[in-house]
Structure 1
Amino acid sequence: MNMSGLLIALLLLIIQGSLAQRVRVDAEVVSYPGQAVTLRCQFPNPGENQLTQVSWIFEQTDVERTNIAVFHPKFGANYPTKSPLYGRVRFVTDPPTLENPSIQITDVKMTDEGRYICEYATYPSGNEQGVSSLVMLAKPKNMATTITVTAGTTPVIVARCESSNGRPAATISWSTALNGNETTPMKTDNADNTVTVQSTYMLAPQPADNGKDISCIVSHRTMSKPETFPMKLVVEYPPQVQIVGYDNNWYRGRTSAFLTCQSDGNPHPTTVTWKTLSGLMPETVQVQENRLAVQKVDDTINTTFICEVKNSLGYGRDQITVFVREFPETRQGSSTGGIIGGIICVIILIAIIATTIVMVRKCQRKNIDRPPTHKPPPPTKTYSYSDRPSINEPESDPELMHHDTEKEEPMTDHLVYYDDKDHHEPSWEDNKTPYHDDRDEDEDRMTGEEGIYYITSSATRGSSFMSPAVIV
């Protein structure tokens, strides 16, 4: 029995929960100040329940609840005068109905934000309700500015960003390369239920920070994209001075020597003053604002020059001592440059020679690899200037092969003797015919003034041969 009772109680709770969901409302409604907003409510399926009355309740906080509109089918519509929305709220339909008791609020204000409860009185199940949240949005007014500061070592506020009268509160961030810190945003609730947010950026400003970029970025629900405010930091500082132009080579007689006083400050420097440590400016010196021109260097220039620059915050100064030389200083830069240039030229020359050698060798290698394009050299013939042997002596005598002096001469086809009567010149193909040992076939005879000579043609090209002469 106890188990059955628990099941019945659980079923009743489920039924009550499902019945509570039968009042249909919009979970959230968004509006802006000055607009009209409609809050809808319906009880579409009452079932066996009888709808008797509907009420709208405005709940600003958990403890503050106020009736703003009531409708009874018999007594009609009523709008309590104590309601903060009196005169600005009404039922959508006139006369209203229990089936559609939606209301409209005109000229909504930021203070109208809260929970709105549509509550039905039913019989026999009792009251049933649905809750809508009205969210008021207000687009904030955003601005950002830098603060003029003086250079120092103590962190100070250098930029401020503000998003005022927004709902909900805006989000502020900073973008910069400065080495500072942003403060925690401070939120202020306004009387009209809007919020103002302020954020600052702090830095120990230095002269080098002047003109640096810094940006404030504001994000809010009412804006499609964040709003960015780019700015440049303003840091004031006394002048910073430097004298340039002295090259440590001012010698007697030098002309057109200059010193320039370079300065930087914020505010911009107003005056530039030149003077010497001795108090007297040499006669050969001309002062042209921030430039000091020396017409001709002499011993009076051998002093210390001082440049002072002033602005509204103070002044800065720099000094330089000039040493006048007897003769110009020999510069080693030119000789060093010449040596370096000579080394570079030698390296380039070596590279050119090496490249040329490599190219020549490649050409020679290509020529060697190619087939010969000319006729190979002919064989050589050896002459003997010793006494010609007798024709009756045998050829086999070894002494006939002895020669006192020999001379080699290239043998060409023109050296082959032929008979004037025949006028026959051996061709290249004839020379290729193999030779025989038979003297009658291999020897050619030629008659001259000194006798008859026999010349054998049995020698091959490229080798030496000797033909014994026979004198008749």
Structure 2
Amino acid sequence: MAFPSAPSALWSVSLLTVLFAAAVHSNIVYDDDPLQPVTSDETVSVGGTVTLTCRVAESDNSSLQWSNTAQQTLYFGEKRALRDNRIQLHRSTPTELSITIADVQLSDEGEYTCSIFTMPVRTARATVTVLGVPGKPQISGFENAVPEGDKVTLTCTSTGSKPPARLRWYRGDEELEGRPNVVEPVPDDPTYNVSSELTLTVSSSDDNAFITCAVDHPSLAPGDKRSEQALRVLFSPKVQIQPESDLPREGEKFSLRCLGDANPEPTSYIWEKKDGELPSLAKAEGAVLHFSMLNKSDNGIYLCHADNGIGNGQGEYVLLVQDDAVNIPDPTAMSTSSGVDHAVIGGVVAVIVFILLCLLIVLGRYLIRHKGTYLTHEAKGSDDAPDADTAIINAEGGHSGAEDKKEYFI
């Protein structure tokens, strides 16, 4: 067996080392190398448009080039190299080369290479990730109405997602907990089919309720793709009795209506009076009990039984007949009469007060005009009279000068 000589083996090792260094150099981005191309990874949904941009800090007049995943040249500077009308030139300058790919397909996913033909050749890679847009979810497993208390299992399925979508269940705004999503890869295709199951024990409140299955995926905005399924639940009547008036009066007509919330609607109604028979003037017509003329003897508890074939329900109403409106004093008339009485009394009091004031004024004026007028008599010589009789005689004689002794006080 012949072995290569030592110089020949050394030369081969040196050549491999240089080639490896050149290859490694082409994939390393040097921050201080102004001619090293810079790119960025991009994510796009199927059917969308992606822009690939390659830049260098400085230009030495070398051309930039974009190549696809199969290393086919797409653009060399401003020149198109591959005849694919989906690929267009976006911008070309000495330091930038940008291209767009429209109507992106799953096959467009992969690494794209930007090269600048310097010595050595410098390259940069951009990974394009293509999202498979999931289809609208389909809900199955519910066809006919089910009785209250039964369990319902719904299945939601969405196809064509990449990466696998996540399915969520809702009743109104409330999120429901379903079984874990089942993910199945599609043969000969990079997409996935996803399914989820939801099991509910239904009640009467679920009748006509909408159960929603929504797709959660990076290619979609929240709520973009969802489906709804209306539930139909069979349940027995829930009965209420509605009176025609809140104030039934003696002697008036009156009626009670039986309301049955049920699915299906009640088909039969039975009226009865608790602890007794229906009054002779009461007549039942289906859901309505008519009273042609109320009487105090009609007071009591009335029952309505409604049946819809699924079950039956019962409601009750306490009837309390009020007095006849004719025998009840009119509060308005009483109020009016009371008001009139108070007005009359007030008028009389006012007249009396006025008369008293007038009398006081007149009396006051009279007293003011005659106040302090009187006469004083001085009995001349009365002080010198020896006895009482003489003094009296002297006083009578002094009347002639009485006019001279008047005094006025005001």
Larger radius of gyration: 1
TM-score (norm: length of structure 2): 0.49
Whichever structure has more helix as a proportion of its residues is: 2
